[in-house]
Amino acid sequence: MRADRLISAVLLMQARGRVTAAELAAELEVSVATARRDLEALSTAGIPVYPQPGRGGGWSLVGGARTDLSGLSAAEARALFLLAGPVAESDDAKAALRKLVRALPGPFRADAEAAASATMIDPARWGERDKTRPELVDRLQAAVIGRRKVRLAYANSKRERSERLVDPWGLVDKDDVWYLVAGTERGRRTFRVDRILAAEATEEPAGRPDDFTLAQAWDEVVAEVERRRSRTWATVLVESRFADVLRDQFGRHSEVVAEEDGRSRVRLAAPTPLDIARHLAGWGALIEVLDPEPVRAELARIGAELTARYG
């Protein structure tokens, strides 16, 4: 968990006084890029962490090395716990937080404990069952850290099964759906973990491009997915008071382009005309689709089917 790494990074700097991203990466068994992002996250959160460039440089805490956390102010200690607390779901992460509390000066402990428990993350939406971390995630994570190739049995969106040997590069949790970013014979690929039927780490070393960073790779994946999700655009009219509801339904694939006599002209996007029609069918006459004709035709077909079924 990231909470473990953030806390460990602070304690390591307290103990050593100065640490490089490479040293931190070796200690935490992550990539140098991940270690650097963790250090930058600490700095952004208000922890007094700063880089020293040049030979013999690295990252340090303002005030130098200490055996406790007396270098942190009360506000800085709260910032650290606000950052780490909500993601401390595992027993190890919670244990790390408890150790950090004990390392704080007495006057700061109550505020730090309050900050750690002030926020929580409930990954399940309303009406959904509680979500659990897929068991495969831990196995794949170990393969990523250990740089070992993984043999996957995978079912695509059409439930077609295939087997392949991949180089695991990183894991991403997006809205409680886990993805494995990996290298294959055909280049970088992204696999949904819930479609992985089996995964077995091998003893064969995995390769990884020297310039690879998971954040950049994921940005490219997201951009491609969003491009595919917005291949068809439609223009609709809806009462302005409902425009925000409609935009929430389509998310980033929507925009209000004009206001006309109490109605909003909204541009919507989805992969196909049928996808747009399915989303709009439940709105009935509250929405008027101006274009394109394929979306209007799909709505007419859906309406005819419903009329034939329910008369």
Confidence grade of residue 204 (pLDDT, cut at 50, 70, 90) = very high
Q: Are strands 187-192 and 177-184 parallel, antiparallel or unpaired?
A: antiparallel
Q: With H, G, I as helix, E, B as strand and everything else as coil, classify residue 180.
A: strand
CATH of 230-310, one of 3.30.70, 3.30.300, 3.90.550, 3.40.109: 3.30.70
Q: Give bridge partners of residue 167 from the DSSP assignment.
A: 183
The answer to which of 120-134, 208-222, 233-247, 271-285 has the lowest mean pLDDT is 120-134
Q: Which of 88, 55, 67, 57 is nearest to 16 (CA)?
A: 67
Dihedral of the alpha carbons of 227, 230, 233, 238, in degrees to the nearest 10: -140
Q: With H, G, I as helix, E, B as strand and everything else as coil, classify residue 145.
A: helix
Furthest-apart CA atoms within the chain: distance in Å: 79
- Separation CA 237–CA 12 (nearest Å): 58
- Could you tell me which residue, 121 or 153, shows the higher pLDDT? 153
For residues 189-202, one letter each, b for 16 or more C-beta atoms within 10 angstroms of the residue's C-beta and e for the rest, the string is bbbebebbeebebe
pLDDT at 110: 67
- Separation CA 115–CA 187 (nearest Å): 44
pLDDT at 8: 72
For residue 80, pLDDT beyond 90: no
- The mean pLDDT of 122-140, rounded to a whole number, is 73
For residue 1, pLDDT beyond 50: no
- Separation CA 243–CA 265 (nearest Å): 9
In one-letter notation, the amino acid at residue 289 is V
- The residue ranges of every structural domain in the chain are 2-116, 135-212, 230-310
The answer to which of 83-87, 131-135, 270-274, 295-299 has the lowest mean pLDDT is 83-87
CATH of 2-116, one of 1.10.10, 2.40.160, 1.10.150, 2.40.50: 1.10.10
- The mean pLDDT of 74-87, rounded to a whole number, is 62
Are 54 and 18 in contact, with CB atoms under 8 Å apart? no
Confidence grade of residue 189 (pLDDT, cut at 50, 70, 90) = very high
Are 152 and 194 in contact, with CB atoms under 8 Å apart? no
State phi, psi for 178 to the nearest 5 degrees: -90, 140
Q: Enumerate the H helices of the chain as residue ranges.
A: 2-16, 21-28, 32-44, 74-84, 91-103, 106-116, 135-146, 214-229, 243-250, 273-281, 293-310
Dump pLDDT digits (tens) for 81-94.
666 665 556 566 66
- Separation CA 306–CA 301 (nearest Å): 9
Confidence grade of residue 22 (pLDDT, cut at 50, 70, 90) = confident
Instruction: Give the CATH number of domain 135-212.
Output: 2.30.30.520
Confirm whether pTM is higher than 0.75: no
Residue with tokens 């003893």: 203
Residues 6+ positions from 19 with CB-CB distance below 8 Å: 9, 12, 13, 58, 59, 60
The answer to which of 9-13, 78-82, 158-162, 209-213 has the lowest mean pLDDT is 78-82
